Each structure stands twice: as structure tokens, then as C-alpha cells.
């Protein structure tokens, strides 16, 4: 996201996984409009539920999310077997 680190609580991961699944489906279909909407929904939700860490904090990250202006091919290359948000 390029916005620093956020701490996301374990209980918020299921809702993020649902948004991640929508993003994956949009990428698989090649639908740019659905991709853009799904990416923004995922990023917005992470910002909403995530707690910002101090700027000078450097914690190990399990999730690295693309920026809002990422191209569909960039995000496709970031996807693992579990999408952007591991189960």
C-alpha cells in the first residue's frame, strides 16, 4: 500500500479474506472494472480495521498489499496460493 505498516487483528482476517476472494475472481475474469473496485474495497477495509504502527516501527510483515493504482498484472503476480491475505 505504500502507507506504512498496519496491525490487523486476527478476527478481521475472515472479512479481508472474503474481499481477497472477490479480488482474485476479478483478476481471473480479467474484468478491469471489477478488479479496481475489489482492490479499493480490500485496501479501504485494511485501512479501516488496521491499527497504524509508529512510523519508526519496523515489524515483520505477513501481508504486503499493492498500491491502489496497481495494474491488474502486477497484482496477479503478487498472488500466491492463498491470495494476498493468507487464510
- The model's pLDDT over 25-66, given as tens digits with 9 standing for 90+, comes to 999 999 999 999 999 999 999 999 999 988 887 777 777 899
Model pLDDT, residue 68: 93
Phi, psi of 18 (to 5 degrees): -65, -40
pTM of the model: 0.86
Cα separation of 13 and 87, whole Å? 8
Q: How sure is the predictor about 87, in pLDDT bands with cuts at 50, 70 and 90?
A: low
Amino acid at each position: 500500500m505504500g502507507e506504512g505498516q498496519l496491525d490487523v487483528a486476527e478476527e478481521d482476517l475472515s472479512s479481508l479474506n472474503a474481499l481477497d476472494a472477490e479480488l482474485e475472481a476479478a483478476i481471473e475474469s480479467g474484468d478491469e472494472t471489477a478488479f479496481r473496485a475489489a482492490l479499493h474495497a480490500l485496501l479501504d477495509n485494511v485501512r479501516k480495521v488496521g491499527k497504524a504502527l509508529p512510523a519508526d516501527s519496523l515489524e515483520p510483515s505477513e501481508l504486503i498489499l499493492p498500491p491502489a493504482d496497481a495494474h491488474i498484472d502486477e497484482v496477479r503476480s503478487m498472488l500466491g496460493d492463498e491470495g494476498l491475505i493468507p487464510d
